A and B are shown apart, each in its own frame.
Chain A
Amino acid sequence: MSRLAGLFAALKEQRRKALIPYVVAGDPSPSGTVNLLHRLVAAGADILEIGVPFSDPMAEGLVIQLGHERALANGMTLRGVLDIVTEFRRDNAETPVVMMGYANPIERFGYQGFAKASADAGVDGLITVDLPPEEVALFDEALLEASIDNILLISPTTSIDRIKTIIARARGFIYCVAVKGVTGSGLLDVDDVAQRLSVIRGLTDLPLAVGFGIKDADSAKRVAVVADAVVVGSALIDEMVRRSQSQVGLEEIQIHGAAVQLLARIRAGVDSSHS
Chain B
Amino acid sequence: MTVEVTPELFASVPDAHGRFGQFGGKFVAETLMSALADLESLYASLKSDPAFLEEFDRDLAHYVGRPSPLYEAARLSNQIGGARIFLKREDLNHTGAHKVNNTIGQALLAKYMGKKRVIAETGAGQHGVASATVAARLGLECHVFMGEEDIRRQSLNVYRMKLLGAEVVPVTSGSRTLKDAMNEAMRDWVTNVDSTFYIIGTVAGPHPYPMLVRDFQSVIGREARAQSLSQTGRLPDALVACVGGGSNAIGLFHPFLQDAEVEMFGVEAGGKGLETGQHAAPLSVGSPGVLHGNRTYLMQDDDGQILETHSVSAGLDYPGVGPEHAWLKDIGRVKYVAANDEETLAAFHRLTRTEGIMPALETAHALAHAEKLAAEMNPEQHIIVNLSGRGDKDILTVAALEGIEV
Contacts and interface: CB of A to CB of B under 8 A. Distances in A.
Interface of A: 54-62, 65, 69, 72, 77-79, 102-109, 129-132, 134-135, 152-159, 162, 166, 177, 180-182, 185
Contacts of B34: 157-159, 162
B30 A104 contact: no
A160 to B, nearest CB: 11
A104 B190 contact: no
Interface in B153-191: 173-174, 179-180, 183, 186-187, 190-191
Given A78-B304, A180-B190, A58 B174 contact: no
Contacts of A162: 33-34
A58 B30 contact: no
B33 A181 contact: no
B266 interface: no
Interface in B290-327: 290-293, 295, 298, 300, 302-306
B26 A104 contact: no
B173 A69 contact: yes
B30 A56 contact: no
Contacts of B26: 132, 134-135
A56 B179 contact: yes
Contacts of A155: 29-31
B29 to A, nearest CB: 5
A108 B302 contact: yes
Given A58-B187, A180-B190, A104 B29 contact: no
Contacts of A158: 30, 33-34
A60 B187 CA distance: 8
B303 A56 contact: no
Contacts of A77: 303
Given A107-B290, A130-B27, A155-B30, A65 B191 contact: no
Nearest to B303: A77
A104 B190 CA distance: 20
A104 B290 contact: yes
Contact of A180 (B17, B194, B295, B306): B194
30 contacts: A54-B304, A54-B305, A55-B174, A55-B306, A56-B174, A56-B292, A60-B187, A61-B187, A72-B305, A102-B290, A104-B304, A104-B306, A105-B305, A106-B304, A107-B289, A107-B304, A108-B289, A130-B28, A130-B290, A130-B293, A132-B27, A135-B27, A157-B32, A158-B33, A166-B30, A180-B190, A180-B191, A180-B194, A182-B187, A182-B190
B244 interface: no
B300 A134 contact: no
Interface of B: 17, 25-35, 173-174, 179-180, 183, 186-187, 190-194, 288-293, 295, 298, 300, 302-306
A79 B193 CA distance: 35
Contact of B303 (A105, A129, A157, A177): A105
Given A157-B34, A180-B191, A181-B190, A108 B300 contact: yes
A136 B35 CA distance: 19
A102 B32 CA distance: 15
B8 to A, nearest CB: 25
Contact of B191 (A62, A129, A181): A181
Contacts of B191: 180-182, 185
A128 to B, nearest CB: 9
B298 to A, nearest CB: 7
B300 A180 contact: no
Contacts of B289: 104, 107-108
Contacts of A57: 183
Given A55-B306, A56-B291, A155-B30, 8 more contacts: A72-B305, A104-B300, A108-B300, A109-B304, A132-B27, A134-B26, A182-B190, A182-B191
Q: Which of B288, B298, B300, B304 has the most CB atoms of chain A within a 10 A radius of its CB? A: B304
A78 B289 CA distance: 15
Given A56-B179, A58-B29, A79 B303 contact: yes
A79 B303 CA distance: 8
Given A55-B305, A79-B303, A181-B191, A129 B29 contact: yes
A54 B190 CA distance: 19
A158 B304 CA distance: 29
Nearest to B192: A180
A157 B29 CA distance: 11
A152 B295 CA distance: 20
A104 B25 contact: no
A117 to B, nearest CB: 13
B306 A56 contact: yes
A79 B291 CA distance: 20
B29 A153 contact: yes
Contact of B33 (A59, A105, A107, A132): A132
Contacts of A180: 31, 190-194
Contacts of B32: 157
Nearest to A156: B31
Contacts of A153: 29-30
Contact of B25 (A59, A61, A135): A135
Contacts of B190: 59, 180-182
A122 B231 CA distance: 68
B143 to A, nearest CB: 15
Contacts of B291: 56, 104
A105 B29 contact: no
Contacts of B186: 58
Contacts of B302: 108
A157 B33 contact: yes
A172 to B, nearest CB: 16
Q: Which of A56, A78, A152 has the most CB atoms of chain B within a 10 A radius of its CB? A: A56
